[in-house]
Structure 1
């Protein structure tokens, strides 16, 4: 099975969800700032790679976990993926979970500062602070995805 966590730029919320899913981040506490900043792909994906899925790792059942930035074309990219999945007969083999709906204004502004304006240090810290505030929501999202694919949540 393939699970794709998507967000605007595959740099923040999708990375966080994928890290929780692959057990790189804890589910029983809010991670430290360094734990988030040091995640693969965190706040590093260039804008010209939006639309490119990035392999993040495997979960405890060997499912493949990806992150995907959709930019302003979220609906178009998701429709295209769903159409492809349908055409190839892969229904039930691929889950696409949009994580952008769980971010707050701190993550949005921080991402803009870091990725668009090049103000990496303040922007990155702002995204981490914002994600820590909604971290339990991300744990819950991943829990639901794992339950959907038959993984008992720890």
Structure 2
């Protein structure tokens, strides 16, 4: 398969895989397109604040973008080795199984503001969804501009790289 026909698999990941990753997938797929989000827009996003600990480690498919590239999210929990293991596994698949797609791992964690961290812990960690959800929404509204920029930068890096496996830390998008 030549480079022009190569598809990209985008995987947005963070600790829980349900907040900033869902925002990133929605921006990537143009479900949302503007920076300032209303509460209703946020709570209606696919998978936003809907995943639990049992969903950790599962690739969640969100759809294909306008170029046919696949968009997934992943809650990796606290494992420092998870992303390095996945990156190495993808290299293995490429070299031994003839996989031809480019895979992009984009970390959304740096864009998580404190309100979203606390709200996510209250909502998902303590199971107090009603209390935590309002903080999660405030946090999502606060970081939405950063997430949109992160997605645009992720696409730009993917388009400009010849690497088959790309790992993007996104430290410049700190909340």
TM-score calculated relative to the size of structure 2: 0.80
Q: What is the alpha-carbon root mean square deviation over aligned residues?
A: 1.7
Matched residue, 1:16: 23
| 1:37-76: CA deviation from partner (whole Å, max 9, x where unpaired) | 1111111112022011100111111110000001111x21
| 1:115-154: CA deviation from partner (whole Å, max 9, x where unpaired) | 0111112211211111211211111101111223449xxx
- Which one of the candidate residues 121, 128, 131 is aligned to 1:122? 131
Matched residue, 1:96: 105
Distance apart, 1:84 and its partner CA = 0.9
Matched residue, 2:90: 85
Question: Within 2, Cα distance between the matches of 1:100 and 1:81?
Answer: 17
Question: Unaligned regions of 5+ residues in structure 1, if any?
Answer: none
TM-score calculated relative to the size of structure 1: 0.90
Matched residue, 1:138: 147
Matched residue, 1:48: 54
129-138 vs 142-151, greater mean Cα deviation:
142-151
Matched residue, 1:106: 115
Question: Within 2, Cα distance between the matches of 1:115 and 1:7?
Answer: 14
Secondary structure of the corresponding residue to residue 11 of structure 1: coil
CA contact (8 A) 2:13 2:106 kept: yes
Matched residue, 1:62: 68
Secondary structure of the corresponding residue to residue 72 of structure 1: coil
CA contact (8 A) 1:85 1:91 kept: no
10-19 vs 128-137, greater mean Cα deviation:
128-137
Distance apart, 1:92 and its partner CA = 6.5
Query: 4+ runs of 1 displaced by more than 4 Å?
Result: none
Distance apart, 1:112 and its partner CA = 0.4
Question: Unaligned regions of 5+ residues in structure 2, if any?
Answer: 1-7, 161-175
